[in-house]
Amino acid sequence: MNAADCLLFTSDYEGSPNIVKEAMACNLPIVSVDVGDVVERLKDVQPSRIVQRDPHDLGQAVADILTMGKRSNGREIAERELSNEHIAKRIIDVYRQARGI
């Protein structure tokens, strides 16, 4: 994956796709459709794009990313938002909300 220039992700159904997280860890720019939690994962990742499931839009987004010719900041975002500490905090927050604390 480190040798790739861009990840094009067009799944129809996903939850939280590992391939997107792996691409982020490699600082690989991502072009994806809105599926699973990809929009949330990529909200601060630059350069990356969320596009409609349209061949022209997908192709244009990939071309734009390739023209930039740079890696993303995905690893930094993944280290911050997908760390064990951050995930544990989110789980605790869910329980606190459920208990009304």
Query: Which residues of the chain fall short of a pLDDT of 50?
Result: none
**pLDDT at residue 90 in the model:** 87
Buried b or exposed e, range 53-68, using 16+ CB within 10 angstroms? eeeeebeebbeebeee
**pLDDT at residue 37 in the model:** 96
Predicted TM-score (pTM) of this structure: 0.85
Residues 6+ apart with CB under 8 A from 43: none
Neighbours of 8 (CB within 10 A): 15
**pLDDT at residue 14 in the model:** 96
